[in-house]
Amino acid sequence: MSRPVTHQDGRTPKAARPDNRHRGRRTKKLVIIFAVLAALLVGADFGLAAIAEHTVSQKAAEQLKLTDDPSVTIHGFPFSTQAIGGEYGHISVSAAGVPVGDPARNVALRDVELKAELRNVTAPLSDLINGDTSAIKIGDLTGQVRIKASDIARIEPLTQVQDLRIEPASEEYVRTGDEGTDNNGSTPTTQPEDNDDSSAGVRISGNLQFAGEQLEIFCFAMIELDGTTIRITPQRLQFGNNQNTTIVDQAVQKALLPNFKAEIDAGALPFKVTPTAVKVESGSVTLQGEAKDLTFSGLSAGG
């Protein structure tokens, strides 16, 4: 009868341990499977979001009469949890080249740029998938409307000014011509910004016919908000260019200033918001506004 094998120290050797390689392979396979499933779920979530964004974009293009669909981004992840509940925290909409025409309101613009941040939005997922945006409700909207100088030049009586250009100017220089600012009305970087967002200084320049001559004119004006009206009120004029300007005689100013007085009715612009701020930049004027408790159809122009 054979005896069990023992070590020299008298211990019986342990049985051989099972091979762990198979267990490691199974774990690796499970990790890969879960990673693939997660990727599929994320991909499906982004795909569902893309469908909803495309639907909103197409409807916005129809309402704003755009040739190209605007950019729409539904923020937040995952999208599916928002979609199931029909509530969205934040949606961004932006568009360029928006035409705005309403002769009765003296607005005939062709290239308006829009940006809107929509918050607390409710929209049933079934409606979005079916392309029905009529039930979309917007709790809060913050919008920006950028009007370029080329469009402002289409507003009467600014149509009389050829090669119209727009630059920001300090309100102090517009009102007083204080030499503490640059001679072209630009605000030095060391000067504090004007605190009242409902008004801004602007320098409107261009060529104007007067007494049979073509004159280069600088008009320093105020842009002010009055309800839904954006009012351009000229204060004073200068002849010349950036390097050499001449104060215009009072009698000539009286004759020419009306050519720079204009109004824009914000009620004819896209996004039915109440303007709260105006800002002048080189080549454009930007209006900011807010609105609450809108429907998606309330974003359309005019009306």
CA distance 166 to 219: 10
Residues 115, 127 contacting (CB under 8 angstroms): no
Q: Determine the 3-state secondary structure of 198 from DSSP.
A: coil
284 CB-side CA count, 13 A: 12
Starting at the edge strand found earlier in the chain, the sheet holding 87-102 runs 71-74, 87-102, 107-122, 137-148, 284-295, 274-281
pLDDT tens string 163-189: 999 999 999 989 887 655 444 444 443
What pLDDT shows up at residue 190? 33
CA distance 58 to 50: 12
Collect the ranges in the chain with pLDDT lower than 70: 1-26, 28-31, 33-46, 101-108, 178-196, 240-246, 266-272, 297-303
Residues 264, 284 contacting (CB under 8 angstroms): no
pLDDT tens string 35-66: 665 555 555 666 777 877 888 888 878 877 77
Residues 191, 201 contacting (CB under 8 angstroms): no
Q: Which residues contact 169 (CB under 8 A, 6 or more apart)?
A: 181, 184, 185, 186, 187, 201, 202, 203, 220, 280
What pLDDT shows up at residue 3? 56
What pLDDT shows up at residue 107? 55
CA distance 152 to 52: 35
- In the chain, what is the greatest distance between 2 CA atoms, to the nearest angstrom? 135
Per-position b or e across 263-287, b if 16+ CB within 10 A of its CB: ebebbbbbbbbebebbebeeebbbb
What pLDDT shows up at residue 191? 39
Query: Would you state the structure tokens that stand for residue 133, as one six-digit string?
Result: 């945006």
- pTM, two decimals, is 0.73
What pLDDT shows up at residue 1? 52
What pLDDT shows up at residue 296? 77
What pLDDT shows up at residue 234? 93
Domain ranges of the chain: 32-148+292-299, 158-260
What pLDDT shows up at residue 81? 81
Per-position b or e across 162-181, b if 16+ CB within 10 A of its CB: eebbbbbbbbbbbeeeeeeb
What pLDDT shows up at residue 203? 94
